[in-house]
Amino acid sequence: DALNGELSVEVLDTDGTVLAASVPLTGDLPCGVVNWQRGNLANLKGRVVRLRFTLRHASFYSYWMEE
What residues have CB less than 8 Å from 4, skipping those under 6 apart? 57
Is it the case that residue 14 has pLDDT exceeding 90? yes
pLDDT, position 10: 97
Quick one: which of 65, 14, 66, 11 has its CA closest to 43? 11
Check residue 60 and give its pLDDT: 84
Question: What is the tens place of the pLDDT at every residue in 15-26?
Answer: 999 999 999 998
pLDDT of residue 1: 66
CA proximity to 21, closest of 62, 54, 59: 54
With a cut of 90, say whether residue 48 has pLDDT above it.
yes
The SS3 call for residue 41 is helix
Q: What is the pTM assigned to this prediction?
A: 0.84
Q: With the C-alpha atoms ordered 3, 41, 15, 64, is the resulting torsion angle positive or negative? A: positive
